[in-house]
Structure 1
Amino acid sequence: MARSAAAAGTTRVSLALVLALLLVASPQYADALTCGQVLSFISQCVAYSRTGGAAPPEGCCSGVKGLNAAAKLTPDRKTACDCLKKAAAGISGIKPDVVAAIPGKCGVSIPYVISASTDCSKVH
């Protein structure tokens, strides 16, 4: 009888550890998106944002698509918005109309315009 009580205790502890690991591995508990990651995604768009042209380079569009996929939760979308807003205001020589058009030219729909005047608190 003592053996079965000990086995039941071990089973409960094992179950608790498995549940804790599942919670930690769950996407809603994963690390939040950072500005560094956002800037890494869009790094290949900077030169295009200064010149424009028919279409953004493939690397730019793959970065925009990757960022869009990474920013699924509202806090991540707000972070992405804030970082893009700061980048739009802080990178010299970029053309605001070119920057605003990049997501659409890459086939990505985002719920805000990338601009230095965007109110990121309204992003959902």
Structure 2
Amino acid sequence: MAQLAAVFVLLFLVVAASEAAITCSDVINDLRPCVSYLVSGAGKPPAACCAGVSTLASASASSADKKTACECIKNSAKNIKLKADLAQALPKNCGINLPFAVSPNTDCSKIG
């Protein structure tokens, strides 16, 4: 469950197309290395976490993939007490630029 919080941040690394090929299971697996960091970490995220974020970003090639990942992360994050500041800074701390804010209040339907 804590692994889903990490997914929240990483989900926002997707691109654009039409039908979702990514599953919630994929998102969780990619972000699993980020969970401990997002719940109780500090400083820079572990290399395995950033590698998972990069993998998720590459796998999320369509709008549908991005929306699926976003919803998965949001639903998973509801059960985890993650540090919001670490979640929001994760893309930057992993050297990834995102065109939107990483937040539990993100409207996944507007991600494209």
Which bin holds the TM-score, normalised by the shorter protein? 0.7 to 0.9
Number of aligned positions between the proteins: 96
> 2:96 — aligned with what?
108
Please say if 1:96 is aligned against 2:87: no
How far apart, in 1, do the equivalents of 2:102 and 2:78 lie? 10
**Contact conserved, 1:49 with 1:94, CA < 8 A, in 2?**
yes
The aligned amino acid for 2:95 is G
1:62 to 51, 75, 86: 51
1:73 to 62, 67, 77: 62
Misfit runs of 4+, over 3 Å? 28-31
The aligned amino acid for 1:59 is A
Unaligned runs of 5+ in 2: 1-16
More helix by share: 1
1:119 to 100, 103, 107: 107
> Aligned-residue CA RMSD in angstroms?
2.0
Pick 1 or 2: higher relative contact order, CA cutoff 8 A, min separation 6: 2
Could you state the TM-score of these two structures normalised by the residue count of structure 1?
0.69
> 2:39 — aligned with what?
50
The alignment-based identity, stated in percent, is: 40
**Contact conserved, 1:88 with 1:114, CA < 8 A, in 2?**
no
The aligned amino acid for 2:25 is G
How far apart, in 1, do the equivalents of 2:89 and 2:82 lie? 12
Could you state the TM-score of these two structures normalised by the residue count of structure 2?
0.76
Deviation by residue 1:65-112 (Cα, 9 ceiling, x = unmatched):
000000111110111111122222222x31112111111111112333
Unaligned runs of 5+ in 1: 1-27
Deviation by residue 1:44-75 (Cα, 9 ceiling, x = unmatched):
10000012322000110000000000011111
